Structure 1
Amino acid sequence: MPLDSSVIAALQQVSTATLTTILLKKGLRNVWMRGTKPLKPGQKRIVGPAFTLRFVPAREDLATPASWSSPISTRAAIEAMPEGVVAVVDAMGVKDAGIFGDILCARMARRNVAALVTDGVVRDVAGVLGTGLPVWCDGVAAPPSVAGLTFVAWQQPIGCGGVAVFPDDIVVVDDDGAVLIPAALLDAVLAEAPEQERMEAWIMEEVGRDVPLPGLYPMNAETKARYEAAKKGS
């Protein structure tokens, strides 16, 4: 299901660092996808439902250029992607086979896919950057996907960067990488995230005033009272 524009707007104001803190308080420690670094520094924060793709290790009879024409292929998966999704690809951390290159990324951009996130790598990096598709990955490699991987499925539960990702979970990406919000916890996160950002911004202001950290971060009762008073006065 597409995300409501108000949900996207709200989460675009919340850093992935803040989200990990909120989810940690709810008992979720493993929500940051390892190896998901912005291909181009300074990409804007992006929010979208996960559209999952899964690779397994290469098997010589299956991982061939001919497989690209199969009904079960990355090409077919891309054509199934709705507008606004974040494509999350389980490449098992393989770094010597590029899962997507410039042509596939260009098609995703044309289909208004919000971003590509993978614990693997991409190829044709200059061309990929030229498509304008925001990409988070673990680097680049010249060989194609079939040199090290076999594509097997889309819209199934996957593991990306050590995190369990289910279709339609919410993914937020920024310069710190990719963070997963379980779909069932979205409303709870939305209820807390803006306040967490406001509180941390106020704490930063206090640090700028040379306020010592003990009692400030985390707040003690006196600091909480000052913070509440400041909110009322703003």
Structure 2
Amino acid sequence: MPKYEIEKMPAQLSAEVVALLEQTETATIGHWRHWGFCDRGIQPLLRRRRVAGTAVTLAIPGPDSTLLHHALGLLRPGDILVVDRLGDDRHACWGGGVTVAAKAAGARAGVVDGPCTDLEEVETSDFPLWCRGIAPITTRLYDLGGRLNKPVSIGGAVVMPGDAVLCDESGVVVLPPDEAEAEARRAIARQQAGLVSQGKVQAGEKLGALSGATTKVLAGL
């Protein structure tokens, strides 16, 4: 088995689908979907960001980031690099230098199933990044191997190269590309209906009456 396994770069999502996803809240999709959500420990380093893009998948072993550095040279505008750390929670593979390279390539965001570092540099670069917090111990170029554009696990969610990735303040959700548009349109419609309901509540109607909860409670008395 070769030390490095590298597959071709995946087909990218259309601009229309990305635009629809970026109108969608992950928490709205969470009203009906039960899979594809990364563990809630993967949180944004920058607040008030919502980005969507095409998954480029990477798996690298704990102390090593050799393949990550190579992958940065392959990223395209619109990609989101998702990094499977194979269970490592000690070494930060993503810092200021990686952030600058990812942004220069036009990547939309990074999602790391492990810690990152150099928060100030990430903030200065204004680059959206989701991870499991901050760590001071970094990876090095140990040449241990890795896999690029193969299936990975990010926070318990299986991510395939080419999947649609949506990230916001609530977390990260991964969708098969052939389901992304329908899920986004359903979510946008639900969000618009929610705004109508909120307006009714602000005007004096009761949330329980609107949602049907009050009817259920009264029927159970």
TM-score by length of 1: 0.78
Q: Does 1:172 align with 2:155?
A: no
2:36 match = 31
* Distance in 2 between residues matched to 1:109 and 1:186, nearest whole Å: 24
Residue 55 of structure 1: which of 57, 60, 67 is its match? Answer: 60
Deviation at 1:30, TM superposition (A): 2.5
Which of residues 179, 194, 199 in structure 1 aligns to 2:188?
A: 194
- Match among 14, 36, 53 for residue 24 of structure 2: 14
Q: Shift of the alpha carbon at 1:130?
A: 2.1
Give the CA deviation at 1:177: 1.2
Any conservation in 2 of the 1:54–1:151 contact (CA below 8 Å)? Answer: no
- 1:115 pairs with 2:109: yes
Which amino acid in 1 is paired with 2:84?
A: D
The change in CA–CA distance for 1:101 and 1:142 in structure 2 (over 3 A counts) is: same
1:229 aligned residue: none
Q: Is residue 89–residue 160 contact of structure 1 (8 Å, CA) maintained in 2? A: yes
CA shift for structure 1 position 151: 5.3
Pick closer, same or farther for the CA change 1:41–1:151 going to 2, 3 Å. Answer: farther
Is there any run of 5+ residues in structure 2 with no aligned partner, and where? 1-10, 215-221
Following TM superposition, where does structure 1 have runs of at least 4 consecutive aligned residues deviating by more than 6 angstroms? none
Partner of 2:94: 100
Equivalent residue number for residue 4 of structure 2: none
Q: How far apart in 1 are the matches of 2:29 and 2:70? A: 33
| Structure 1 position 192, deviation (Å) | 1.6
User: Deviations 1:135-185 (Å, cap 9, x if unpaired)?
Assistant: 1111111111259xx651111110001101111111111111111112231
Q: CA deviation at 1:214?
A: 3.1
Q: 1:164 to 1:218 in 2, by over 3 A?
A: farther
Pairwise CA RMSD: 2.5
- The whole-number CA distance in structure 2 between the counterparts of 1:218 and 1:6 is 35
Structure 1: where are the runs of 5+ without partners? 221-234
Answer yes or no: is the 8 Å Cα contact 2:44–2:130 preserved in 1.
Answer: yes
Structure 1 residue 216, shift from structure 2 partner: 1.6
Deviations 1:190-232 (A, max 9, x none): 3422211111111211222232233422599xxxxxxxxxxxx
Corresponding residue number in structure 1 for 2:12: 2
SS class of match (2:59)? strand
Deviations 1:67-89 (A, max 9, x none): 73xxxx11111111121111111
Describe the shift of the 1:212–1:109 C-alpha distance in structure 2 as closer, same or farther (beyond 3 A).
same
